[in-house]
C-alpha cells in the first residue's frame, strides 16, 4: 500500500499550465515529499523529483517512454517509431547509431560549421538596427545542423525550415490552434526528409560519407531491415529539431553574460579555464525541459509507494536541477560549482539522466555543450553589440521558457577573432 501524499485538487492540468516549471517542486515542498500523486487530464499521475527519483526513473527495467507523452507533444517532439519510443535491445541498437555520430571529430566539425554560419549571420546583423537573438540564432543553428547532418539546404529555404523546426519546439507544451499549425508544419518537414532519404537510397542524391544522413539512410534495425523511410525521416528530424532548440540555451548564455559581466570580461580576454563550468551552470540554472514522462513497466515499490504496471509518472527535471540538497543556493548563478563536479548523471539533468548508451538520456547533450562553448567565444570575442532596454524576464509559467524579449541586440558589429590564451 502506498504512503505518499496526494494533491488536493480534483485535476491539476490547469495548475501545471499556470505554474509551468515550478509545478512539481512547489507541491513537493508543500507536501514534504519527493513523491506525490495527482490527476492530469483526469488521469492519475505520480510526480517525483530529485537524484534518487531520476535514478529510478531512468532504470530501463522499471520504466518505459511508451504511452507517456500527450499525443500532440509526442507528434511534435518525437513522433512514432523514434528511438525514444523503443525499449530493450531495439532501443540500445538504435541508440548506438546516434551515439556513433557524436565522435570527437564530429563534435569538432560542428564547432567549425557553427562558427562559419555565425560569422555569416553577424555580417547580416550588422545591417539591421536590432536583432532578437533567440530566433536569429535558431536560423544559424538550422543552417549549421543541416551542414553537419549532410542535409542540402538552399539559402532561400533556410528561413522556412527554421520556422518549421521552431514551431515543433514552441508548441510542444501547448494545445489549440498553434499546436495544430505546428503539426501541419511537422508533416511538411517529414515529407521533405522522407523524400530526401528515398533519393539517397535510390542513388539520386549523394549523402556525404559518414554524415548523419548517410548513416540513417543506411541503418538497419536488429532484424536486418532498413528503417522505414518515414521512420528514417523522423530520426533525421530528431537531430535537426533538438539542434535548433539549443537556441534557447544560446539566449540564456547571452542573458547570463549580460547579467554577470565579470564572466564576459574573462572570456573576452581569452581565459577559458571556466568555460565548461559556465556552460554547465547555464544548463543547470535556466529552464529547458520542465518534466519528462514515463510509465512503469512492472509493479515495484520505492520510497513508500507501490508503482503499478502502466502507472504514469512525471519526473521533475527543472526541480532536480534546482534541488538545494544537490545544489547549494540553487537560485544563485555560480559556474564555479562545476569546477570539481564529479559528473553525477542523476543530478544535472536538463536533457535527461542516466547512461547515454543504455538509457534514454539525450544523445545530443555533448554536442549541446560544444555549441554553447563556441557561442560564448563568438559572443565575447568576435562581436560587439549593445543590449537596449527590454524585458529580459524569464517566465517559468511559459513552456518552453526564454527571455521575454528574445534577447535583443543593437548596433551589432563583428571583429577579428582573438587568439585563445
The secondary structure of 324-386 as a DSSP string is: TTTSSSTTS--GGGGTT----TTT--BTB-S-TTTS-S-TTHHHHHHHHHHHHHHHHHSEEEE
Summarize the confidence of residues 406-413 as an average pLDDT: 98
186 within 8 A of 179, measured Cβ to Cβ: no
Residue 152 belongs to domain spanning: 13-414
pLDDT digits (tens, 9 = 90+) for 159-179: 999 999 999 999 887 777 888
Q: pLDDT value at position 421?
A: 41
Strands (E), 22-123: 35-40, 43-48, 63-64
Summarize the confidence of residues 219-238 as an average pLDDT: 93
Q: Residue 419 domain-assigned?
A: no
Range from 251-260, 297-306, 357-366 carrying the lowest mean pLDDT: 357-366
Question: Does the model's pTM come out above 0.75?
Answer: yes
Q: Residue 421 domain-assigned?
A: no
CATH number of the domain at 371, please: 1.10.630.10
Q: Residue 159 domain-assigned?
A: yes
Range from 170-174, 254-258, 275-279 carrying the lowest mean pLDDT: 170-174
pLDDT digits (tens, 9 = 90+) for 20-49: 999 999 999 999 999 999 999 889 999 999
- pLDDT averaged over every residue in the chain: 93
Q: Residue 63 domain-assigned?
A: yes
Q: Residue 420 domain-assigned?
A: no
Question: Helices marked H in 100-176 — which ranges?
Answer: 104-125, 133-149, 158-170
Q: pLDDT value at position 1?
A: 44
Instruction: Domain count for the chain, please give it.
Output: 1
Q: Residue 5 domain-assigned?
A: no
| Dist CA 359 CA 356 (whole Å) | 6
Closest CA relative to residue 368, chosen from 252, 234, 216: 252
Confidence check: pLDDT of 419 > 50: yes
Q: How confident is the model at residue 77 (pLDDT cuts 50, 70, 90)?
A: confident
Q: Residue 8 domain-assigned?
A: no
Q: Residue 244 domain-assigned?
A: yes
Amino acid at each position: 500500500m502506498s504512503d505518499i501524499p496526494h494533491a488536493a485538487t480534483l485535476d491539476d492540468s490547469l495548475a501545471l499550465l499556470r505554474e509551468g516549471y515550478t509545478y512539481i517542486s512547489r507541491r513537493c515542498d508543500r507536501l514534504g515529499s519527493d513523491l506525490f500523486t495527482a490527476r492530469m487530464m483526469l488521469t492519475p499521475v505520480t510526480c517525483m523529483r530529485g537524484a534518487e527519483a531520476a535514478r529510478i526513473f531512468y532504470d530501463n527495467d522499471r520504466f518505459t517512454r511508451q504511452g507517456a507523452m500527450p499525443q500532440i507533444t509526442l507528434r511534435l517532439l518525437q513522433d512514432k517509431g523514434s528511438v525514444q519510443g523503443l525499449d530493450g535491445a531495439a532501443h540500445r541498437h538504435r541508440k548506438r547509431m546516434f551515439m556513433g555520430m557524436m565522435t570527437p571529430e564530429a563534435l569538432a566539425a560542428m564547432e567549425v560549421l557553427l562558427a562559419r554560419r555565425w560569422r555569416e549571420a553577424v555580417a547580416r546583423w550588422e545591417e539591421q538596427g536590432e536583432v532578437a537573438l533567440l530566433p536569429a540564432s535558431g536560423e544559424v543553428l538550422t543552417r549549421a545542423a543541416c551542414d553537419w547532418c549532410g542535409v542540402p539546404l538552399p539559402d532561400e529555404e533556410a528561413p522556412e525550415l527554421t520556422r518549421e523546426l521552431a514551431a515543433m519546439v514552441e508548441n510542444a507544451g501547448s494545445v489549440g490552434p498553434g499546436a495544430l499549425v505546428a503539426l501541419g508544419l511537422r508533416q511538411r518537414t517529414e515529407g521533405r526528409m522522407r523524400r530526401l532519404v528515398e533519393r539517397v537510397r535510390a542513388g539520386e542524391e549523394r549523402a556525404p560519407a559518414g554524415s548523419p544522413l548517410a548513416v540513417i539512410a543506411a541503418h538497419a534495425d536488429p532484424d536486418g531491415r532498413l528503417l522505414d523511410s518515414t521512420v528514417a525521416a523522423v530520426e533525421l528530424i530528431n537531430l535537426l529539431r533538438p539542434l535548433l532548440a539549443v537556441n534557447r540555451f544560446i539566449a540564456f548564455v547571452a542573458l547570463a553574460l549580460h547579467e554577470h559581466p565579470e564572466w564576459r570580461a574573462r572570456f573576452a580576454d581569452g581565459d577559458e579555464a571556466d568555460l565548461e563550468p559556465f556552460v554547465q551552470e547555464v544548463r543547470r540554472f535556466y529552464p529547458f525541459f520542465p518534466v519528462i514522462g514515463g510509465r512503469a513497466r512492472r509493479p515495484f515499490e520505492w520510497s513508500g509507494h507501490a508503482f503499478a504496471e502502466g502507472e504514469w509518472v512525471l519526473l521533475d527535471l527543472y526541480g532536480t536541477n534546482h534541488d538545494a540538497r544537490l545544489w547549494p543556493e540553487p537560485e544563485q548563478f555560480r559556474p564555479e560549482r562545476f569546477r570539481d563536479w564529479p559528473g553525477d548523471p542523476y543530478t544535472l539533468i536538463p536533457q535527461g539522466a542516466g547512461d547515454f548508451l543504455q538509457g534514454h538520456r539525450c544523445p545530443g547533450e555533448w554536442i549541446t555543450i560544444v555549441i554553447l562553448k563556441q557561442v560564448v567565444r563568438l559572443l565575447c570575442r568576435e562581436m560587439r553589440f549593445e543590449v537596449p532596454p527590454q524585458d529580459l524576464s524569464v517566465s517559468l509559467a511559459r513552456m518552453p521558457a526564454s527571455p521575454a524579449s528574445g534577447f535583443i541586440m543593437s548596433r551589432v558589429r563583428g571583429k577579428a577573432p582573438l587568439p585563445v590564451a
